[in-house]
Amino acid sequence: MEDETSNGAEGSSDGPPPARQAYEHAWNWFKYHAEQRLAMIRFAVLILGAIAAAVGYLHKDNQFVISIALCLLGMVASYCFLKLDSRTSHLIKLAEEALAEHENKLAEDISSSKIKIFQNTDALRTFNLGTRDGRVLWSKWWNYPYTYKQNFRLLFIISIVLYYFVLCYELILYLRRHR
Q: Is residue 12 part of a domain?
A: no
Q: Is residue 68 part of a domain?
A: yes
Its sign, for the CA torsion 61, 64, 65, 66, is positive
Q: Is residue 154 part of a domain?
A: yes
Bridge-partner residues for 135, per DSSP?
132
Q: Is residue 4 part of a domain?
A: no
Q: Is residue 57 part of a domain?
A: yes
In this predicted model, what pLDDT tens digit does every residue of 130-152 receive, in sequence order?
555 555 555 555 555 577 888 89
143-148: Cβ within 8 A, 24+ apart: 148/37, 148/89
Taking the CA of residue 135 as centre, how many other CA atoms within 13 Å lie in the half-sphere pointing to its CB?
5
Q: In terms of residue numbers, what domain contains 114?
A: 19-177
Q: Is residue 3 part of a domain?
A: no
Q: Is residue 31 part of a domain?
A: yes
pTM, 2 dp: 0.74
Q: Is residue 85 part of a domain?
A: yes
Bridge-partner residues for 138, per DSSP?
128
The alpha-carbon radius of gyration of the chain (Å, integer) is: 25
Alpha-carbon dihedral of residues 144, 145, 148, 152, nearest 10 degrees? 20
Residue 156: the pLDDT is 95
Q: What are the b/e assignments for 134-157, b being 16+ CB within 10 Å?
A: eeeeeeeeeeeeeeebeebbebbe
Bridge-partner residues for 136, per DSSP?
131
Q: What is the number of domains present in the chain?
A: 1
Compute the distance between CA of residue 93 and CA of residue 73 in angstroms, rounded to an integer.
Answer: 30
In this predicted model, what pLDDT tens digit does every residue of 33-86 receive, in sequence order?
999 999 999 999 999 999 999 999 999 999 999 999 999 999 999 999 999 999
